[in-house]
Chain A
Amino acid sequence: MGSRSPSIAAIGVIGRHNNPLHIALFPATGEGHEQQRDKLEYSFMLNSSLDIFEARMPSKTVGHDFGLLHALDERLALYGWLTNSGVKLVIAVDMEGRTAPTPEAGKTAILGLRNSDLAPAFQALQTAYIRLLRNPFYIPDEHNPQATKGSGLLAITSTRFLNEVDRIGKAWHPGVTVI
């Protein structure tokens, strides 16, 4: 029964018109603590984070990193990042998501995360999104609810992007510098 350390619980990619492009969930791991994430619950959480983006938008003119958006309870916290084109990346972190690999890591759950801990994850996500845009089969306007007038699926379906998001979510741990 080791101590626990933070891991990513969910990653959300939300388009400029507040349309969800992709939501990825990562279950908690470790002995006796396995827990599946509830999709509906996390959808609500990501939705509520949009309000925080809007509220902070006028005062935040410099920088993309919105840092800690909201700490829901002792376990869950939401961090956000806004790209230049209006795409929002939201990461929900579970402070007790995995077994601590080392005793020092276990202490992070008590001490808390810094904003800069999540920057590598956001950078990697942004790189993955840009790579998706360089795919000729991905047309941004098709995923824009205003442009397509609500016909068809609006979420991202590119396997490469989905796998990359998965990899980022699983590979992150506090203190990692490049994913």
Chain B
Amino acid sequence: MSRPTQTQQPPPPDDDPLNPKAAASALDFLLMELVPLAQRLTEQLLAREQALLEEYRRSRGFDWRAAKTVGVGYQKEQQGVRDGSGDGNGEQGVVVSADGSAAVVATGGRGGGGGGGGGGDVGAVVEGSGITSLGFPVMSEQTRESVFWRLDGMGYRVGQGLVERFSVNKPRPTTPLDAIKFVCKHLWILVFRKQIDNLKTNHRGVFVLTDNRFQPLSRMSVDRRTGIKGAEEALARAQTFLYFPGGVIRGALAGLGVEVTVEASSTEIPTATFQIKTKGAKP
């Protein structure tokens, strides 16, 4: 007449640090915060750069020609960032591409130098954020590209570390397809607590990963009262949250030895699609 033994322990209380919900929630909130953080960083750096340039233009006894070249060089960089193309000025990184170069480090260096001098006057033309018709703040084109690039860089390092740690006892992936399968199955579960729903490939180096309920997008609200416009706007704002996971994929694959470019997009919340192209792939 013995009681059946309890096979399940009672769930740990909510404020127990060992409760997996705590870690999962913390990760979710951190990922959410990354985007505004990248935005703030980029805007501050750009503001400093503008201030420095203003200071330079206004200082006495400086060479007009030098100013012109600096101005032109600056314009070229902005152009490069806006187009997202790595032009002759080789230091600008492409928005989401395999070679994450040190462009932002260069910008940061200049910004840091001018911080002391140009702190007072930021009257320069900072293409700051505007407001959309529905009342949500939106970033300027220039800020957007830099923010995407920065988020992707962050994700890259995270991906490298993650894949090293969690591929320890798994069989070694020999082909790019194996590596992507590893990402779909194991990495996605670890970071987003679910598997990828669909993997398509054209067997020539292009892979498309579809997640029907992508975790960062799953809790976003869309104002349906405003109709199509609201949905589009939500999509545009959701786009920013796709770059960090894109970077994680890129870093993870780089850790396994596969050089790729990743394009993240979403046509409908909460579905997300990641297009992965290996180097030399034919579309």
Q: Which residues of A contact B (CB under 8 A)?
A: 16, 61-64, 82-86, 126, 129-130, 133-134, 139-141
Is the CB–CB distance between A133 and B160 below 8 Å?
Answer: yes
Of A63, A126, A140, the residue contacting B160 (CB under 8 A) is: A140
Is the CB–CB distance between A133 and B172 below 8 Å?
Answer: no
What B residues does A126 contact at CB under 8 A?
168
B 147-184 contacts with A by CB, 8 A = 157, 160-161, 163-165, 167-168, 170-174
What B residues does A85 contact at CB under 8 A?
160, 163-164, 167, 255-257
A130 to B160, CA, bound (A): 11
- Range class of the B interface residue count: 10 to 19
Interface of A is mostly: loop
Of B100, B157, B161, B256, the residue contacting A84 (CB under 8 A) is: B256
Interface of B is mostly: loop
Q: Which 6 A-B pairs have the closest CB atoms?
A: A84-B167, A85-B255, A133-B161, A133-B164, A130-B165, A85-B164
Chain A's closest residue to B178 (CB) is A61
Q: Which residues of B contact A (CB under 8 A)?
A: 100, 157, 160-161, 163-165, 167-168, 170-174, 255-257
Chain B's closest residue to A135 (CB) is B161
Of A16, A61, A62, the residue contacting B257 (CB under 8 A) is: A16
Is the CB–CB distance between A64 and B161 below 8 Å?
Answer: no
Of A84, A130, A139, A140, the residue contacting B170 (CB under 8 A) is: A84
Is the CB–CB distance between A61 and B174 below 8 Å?
Answer: yes
